[in-house]
Structure 1
């Protein structure tokens, strides 16, 4: 190989090695005080000393975080049963600045068990929508 190609190859290898070392030495959010390299190899990545990692405490901390996030998300949910004759607003996803965020109210003509509702857009147009796209008109 030419000297320029060898130099470039060596520079790329050095950069990849440095990136690999940095990833193993960085502290992960889910592992808190331990690096991924410490967990996998049971050794410190910078110093040649053994490290004892308590995997059970890491798992317990992660489970507590999962439970807390789930509790927070469930607290935002609102129970609502859609009934025929009720009115709903349709969410407008990705509206422009001046576009309305919701349109309606539209009257419900049928309710299905799979989480969809049929609404009446006008006298001849009926549309079947998922309830995730709807907001009850009484809650606005």
Structure 2
């Protein structure tokens, strides 16, 4: 019984960082006390997440939370074997320099050519075609 509890505690500790911050809209929702739907509506209206954070006076907190979330994603990629430790270190160095200069406009935020990190929907499996975004599409 003690081994099972310990095993569950280890699994929960590994998953907590990913579950705690599922996406930028949820991070902003927590920081601004807006609903996720309100944040997503502003995003769909053309505002960047950074601009929303700046307007609501939480830009610095948002940057810190986003950096933490992205570091967790990179680490989980290393653990899954999707990234080497060297790739992760290169990406994190680049990310930290970009985040330090982030002004919330979303300008100049392209990944270097070799840095596609599978953070987009679908991960190259054809699932990022608008499913789940209220577009009325259903998976076949």
Which structure: greater strand fraction? Answer: 1
Global fold match (TM > 0.5):
no
TM-score (norm 2): 0.24
Higher relative contact order (CA 8 A, sep 6+): 2
Which structure: greater helix fraction? Answer: 2
